[in-house]
Amino acid sequence: MTLNQKLLRHSGGLVFWACLAIVWLGTLGQRALITPDEGRYATLSLGMLHSGDWITPRLNNLLYFEKPAMQYWAGAIAFKLFGINEFAARFWPGLTGLLTVALVGLTGRKLWSPAAGRNAALVAAGCAWIVGNSHFLTLDTGVTFFLTAALSGFLLAQRDGADTRKRLFWNLFMWAAMAGATLSKGLIGILIPGTTLALYSLLARDVRPWTRMNWLPGLALFLVLSVPWFVLVSQQNPGFARFFFIHEHFQRFLTTEHRRTGPVWYFVPLLLAGFLPWTSLLPATLRAGWQREPGRFQPRRLLLAWSLFVFVFFSVSGSKLPSYILPMFPALALLLGRELEAMTAPRLARHLIAPALLWLAVLAALPFHARFASAETPPAALHALAVGLGIAAILFLLCAWFAWRALRRDERGLALAAWALGGFLAVTAGALGHNTYGQLKSSKAVAVAAAPLLTPATPVFSVAMYDQTLPFYLRRPVTLVAYSDEFAFGQAAEPDKSLPDIASFIRRWRELPAAAAMMGPGTFTTLSQGGLPMRVVYRDARRLFVIKPALRPMEPISETA
């Protein structure tokens, strides 16, 4: 290859990654936030920004100790920098998802070769579960970034040939990342790395890493970074420690109290779908994890142990959500990135067939989408989703065609880039198409209709229901009526901030000169039949937003299908 060809290829790579990063971040704000998770975490960050209290998290102005504060800090800072909008709300998962891709590439490059690093980054950038969760507001992308950083630091510190100075740097990087993971989601920031190391020692019969972790400065750094917030929040809130460590860790794992149950195979289909468009390569990826490498340290076995532990740990847990296994995907990307180095173009071409057929099947099924319409899922929402999926299918198939042609010329790097781009664009287009459907689970339209009718002093109630996005879009807390769920701890600590039953709400409503409320159709019918004065300003299939008639002169009613 000539110098000009090398420069052209290098420039092309920079343009590819720059364009991907622009689209990655630029699409974060193109969809309304949906309930429950996106509304919950946006409201927590907004509450922290408005209150100025960076120690005690509050959800809808009630004490909320289910998770540590890292994500809330990041969200509040994003709101301060970018304004209160969907882009800022999702900026932290979007940024940390992109940084996870970069970390995977850097780690593969330093562990094995530039080609392995490039391949691993491409696998991560096209992986459906990494892309999808990076554009959805939960805690899992942030904690995955820190756990991946801890994994990368450990791998690079323990690799054969690392000198004392490099080992110290990467070990401290690992300890700091574990502190970030702990501040993001609690004790799994310690549990996953620690258990993985124990499993690796058994699989590889190698205990040497335990003696090369710079324990004294590492633990000191971990404690300095992670402990202060836990101490401060416990001092200000005496009930925090028991609720956080017992209820939110041990009871969540050992019991089904949180009502997020699922069979032991719950994560199997999520793994298969989440690893698209590389799913057919998953068996080869796992086999590669068992292969021995030259030298004493076996990074692929450690990556295998990490992946298996994350999958098994959450599979046996009493509480399951789809994004819980996200931390295993960067490890799988590293394994596959190394394995792709040795794969021939014909073998890769065979694996390209499976995702192409899948998207062809999606295209064939789209004309029948109207059959799934219902009162709660109107045809317009399904049509927008079908259009998004159709665009996603076409984009992937175009990229797959380009990758196929590149493989016929034995240009594997170019083919993998097109393959990854197809996966990334397909998930992005599908997510954008989901927006109309997603707004059925969002209060954005409610706020548009209600906000002009409210003053800063108008009390807003949420009666026998709660939409997590309502406080975010109204830019204010709402008073809960006959509703507890995850607010039970906060309501017990501050009972004056909610109403226990409908009768209390009726009395308060009649007393107030102005008020507004969200409620379900059944509740509205019951209260209307009881003579409670209400005027509907928004209605859809699952909720209504009402005001006291004296609040404002009559305004047109906003209705959706």
The answer to whether residues 212 and 297 belong to one domain is yes
Among 293, 324, 342, identify where a domain stops.
342
Residues 414 and 484 in one domain: no
Does the residue 285 lie in any domain? yes
Q: Please indicate, yes or no, whether residues 139 and 261 belong to a single structural domain of this protein.
A: yes
**What is the pLDDT at residue 262?**
79
| Number of Cβ within a 10 Å radius of residue 506 | 17
- Same domain? For 254 and 389 the reply is no
Same domain? For 430 and 453 the reply is: no
Q: Is residue 430 part of a domain?
A: yes
Are 252 and 392 contained in the same domain? no
Strand, coil or helix: 545: strand
Instruction: Quote the pLDDT of residue 430.
Output: 96
Domain boundary among 442, 458, 491: 442
- Determine, yes or no, domain membership for 39: no
Number of Cβ atoms within 10 Å of the Cβ of 379: 14
Query: Could you say which DSSP state residue 467 is in?
Result: -
Alpha helices in 188-293 (DSSP H): 188-204, 215-236, 240-241, 252-254, 267-274, 282-290
Residue 86 lies in a domain: no
229's CB contacts (< 8 A; 6+ apart) are 55, 68, 69, 183
pLDDT of residue 559: 47
Host domain of residue 405: 351-442
Name residue 58's beta-bridge partners: 63
Maximal C-alpha separation, the chain? 84
Provide the pLDDT for residue 378. Answer: 86
- In-domain check, residue 98: yes
**How many domains does the chain contain in total?**
3
Point out which residues pair with 428 in neighbouring strands.
none
Q: DSSP code of 295?
A: S
Domain match, 356 and 433 both:
yes
Residue 517, helix vs strand vs coil: strand
> Does residue 244 share a domain with residue 122?
yes
The predicted pLDDT at position 373 comes to 81
Question: How would you class 104 by CB atoms within 10 Å of its CB: exposed for 0-12, middle for 13-18, buried for 19 or more?
Answer: buried
**425 and 308 in one domain?**
no
Residue where a domain terminates, one of 386, 415, 442 = 442
Asked if residue 83 is part of any domain, the answer here is no
SS (H, E, C) 246-258: HHHHHHHHHCCCC
In a domain, 26, yes or no: no
Same domain, 332 and 362: no
Whether 402 and 450 share a structural domain: no
378 and 325 inside one domain: no
Q: What is the mean pLDDT of each run of 10 residues along the chain (561 residues)?
A: 58 90 97 95 97 96 94 98 98 98 97 96 98 97 98 96 93 98 95 96 91 96 97 92 74 59 90 97 94 89 96 89 96 97 94 97 91 83 93 97 96 96 97 92 95 94 97 97 93 94 96 96 95 95 90 45 34
Rounded to two decimals, the pTM is 0.94
Count of C-beta atoms within a 10 Å radius of residue 555: 13
Residue 538: phi and psi, rounded to 5, are -155, 140
Q: Is residue 141 part of a domain?
A: yes
Per-residue pLDDT, 161 = 85
d(CA 230, CA 251): 19
Residues 6+ apart with CB under 8 A from 353: none
Tell me if the bond preceding 228 is cis, omega within 30° of 0: no
